[in-house]
Structure 1
């Protein structure tokens, strides 16, 4: 079988979940069937160094997404691309246009990763994205909840959508845990004897770390604890200010982006996700893979699917300080045997999202798309 050229297009290989997903797909793609190529805008990304050496990596000479259409279409044509794969609505729009303008055999597969919309203006914009998605050859949704959102707000036909969960590279995570170590400047946090609560994600409104800070303050009144926050974003200063108002600033640790977050997860007592909305929530699947108990908001739509309605971790209402506190304390107060049982149960669940299994589903979608006229 002749290898199929698959071009992956993303804004940048930064520290977000979309980039991590593309990395996992690219690195685990069957090299006997596919030749992966990656195209980004002219940015440096945190995950670039983790790409396998055989991946052809091209950076466009622009940092403006709108100016990338013609250069991307030229690459699609010159590199004899069979499949163009992208994620995130605006990036998807550019990928679809570039594929069409390449006047080549290439087919376009786009991935939708979040439950977007809400206001009239946002929903109207999603209708626009939906019109573009109809010009793609295949839409991939990373959860059933996101698929429902694509149908109701983007007005994409259900028959045009395939659900594929995010791939979690468990082998890579285990390697990172075995070979990695906590940075020396953060080591003291894990040596206090306190319980350690951890979260990871962009410091933005969607992730609602403010609710987590308030819940943590109440947890700390009952059990001496530390809160570790991985990630960067525009709300850092306001979150620091909130911590000071709650009088917990000495127990909150903003440690930024970490190329090996898994070693931090592994050393924590519980991972907490406080998001207002998610598509899948890659990070809680990764937390389960590090054998860390999980507490998450029951936001639309990923966490409930990852945790199977609360079977593999605790779910609390979005924005509920009291219930988040209660579930965190429930984990922290468990006997060791109960914690170990919860950990092993969650670890088995993580294997449902193992990259090798999930990437095979992507390979099937790529080949199916190529067979269709």
Structure 2
């Protein structure tokens, strides 16, 4: 049986981190030896790792600093496959494998839309150049949506069709069980005003500003509330906007929560207001809970998940008026919960695990 290793920066609360947890746990459940290599062993998801996963802490703060420890790991343990996630970890993995001179197959997984990704950090602006230079050295590159894969091929001048698409492992029995867990919050009581929910890191990418401005418009017409789950560097600015709009009493910023599904299952509707996504795991999670969803038609995942609006409205990025109109219509239109759940089940953990195993040559 092949010895498989996964590599990523940390296990802080994010979509890519959830994917790796699902894959590593799923691999060991199928009897495969798995190492999970972290640049730094920290993050909210640490307690979700299967005890049979061998966690290795490189004890570094940056991906570049992790190259030498990763070279040592590869030389000592010589895994059959190294599956790296997220751009900065991917670049470090390529350099480390080249320096280690081992036969380990390297698979890179990209979780975002490269052409749309924005960062104010100077080193991040250099990523596309180094990705174009180094990514062809990997045995396989995986994108998390069809459009994101094609975008990456174009951005890195790779051959069309050279990147394999595997949708993220999102839905399993555990999600359904967590969605049914008791949640005592006065806003979610039966006779309370409808609650809109949004979940994600408080970053520019997720564009909570548009969601909040849209909610402020809806609230003027329909008594309602907004809950935001997640943490991030923009919390002060988001709180300032909420205060400026004078809606503090109807917006609750709960921070990071271990079980967002209990909130999703009781929300009147879920909002994804992102400027860009690779796929959009939270959209699938909300649908799996039977919750109506509204999303920006951002590049690229939501359009594929919702099949061009078949399973929920798609609105222009950054358009608070359009988002507000969609939010209001969702409240007024009955939704077929079972239809949403059926669509979400396509993005199952087991399907993704089987596809990953096929890519690395394990049936």
Give yes or no for contact 1:43–1:63 (8 Å, CA) kept in 2: no
Paired position in structure 2 for 1:293: 292
1:31 is displaced (CA, Å) by: 4.6
Give deviations 1:58-102, integer Å, cap 9, x for gaps: 111222221111211221222230000111111100111112222
Counterpart-to-counterpart distance in 2, 1:214 and 1:202: 18
Give yes or no for contact 2:202–2:208 (8 Å, CA) kept in 1: yes
Give deviations 1:239-266, integer Å, cap 9, x for gaps: 1111111111111111011111100111
Give yes or no for contact 2:227–2:254 (8 Å, CA) kept in 1: yes
Counterpart-to-counterpart distance in 2, 1:349 and 1:308: 10
Out of 141, 144, 149, the residue aligned to residue 142 of structure 1 is: 144
Counterpart-to-counterpart distance in 2, 1:300 and 1:169: 22
4+ runs deviating over 3 angstroms: 30-33, 117-125
Counterpart-to-counterpart distance in 1, 2:129 and 2:154: 10
Gaps of 5+ in 2: none
Counterpart-to-counterpart distance in 2, 1:102 and 1:163: 28
Give yes or no for contact 2:110–2:144 (8 Å, CA) kept in 1: yes
For the structure 1 residues 266 and 32, does the alpha-carbon distance in structure 2 shift closer, same or farther, using more than 3 Å as the test? closer
The alignment partner of 1:197 has SS state of strand
Normalising by structure 1, report the TM-score.
0.92
Paired position in structure 2 for 1:164: 166
Give deviations 1:3-61, integer Å, cap 9, x for gaps: 11111011001100010011111111265562111010224211111111110111112
Stretch of structure 1 that moved more, 112-121 or 344-353: 112-121
Counterpart-to-counterpart distance in 2, 1:344 and 1:326: 24
Counterpart-to-counterpart distance in 2, 1:222 and 1:31: 50
Give deviations 1:169-219, integer Å, cap 9, x for gaps: 3211012123x333x5xx122236110000001111111111111100111
Paired position in structure 2 for 1:82: 80
Counterpart-to-counterpart distance in 2, 1:326 and 1:176: 31
For the structure 1 residues 30 and 361, does the alpha-carbon distance in structure 2 shift closer, same or farther, using more than 3 Å as the test? farther
Give yes or no for contact 1:128–1:154 (8 Å, CA) kept in 2: no
Query: How many positions carry a matched residue from both structures?
Result: 358
Q: State how 1:55-94 maps to structure 2 within 5 Å.
A: 55-94=53-92
Normalising by structure 2, report the TM-score.
0.94
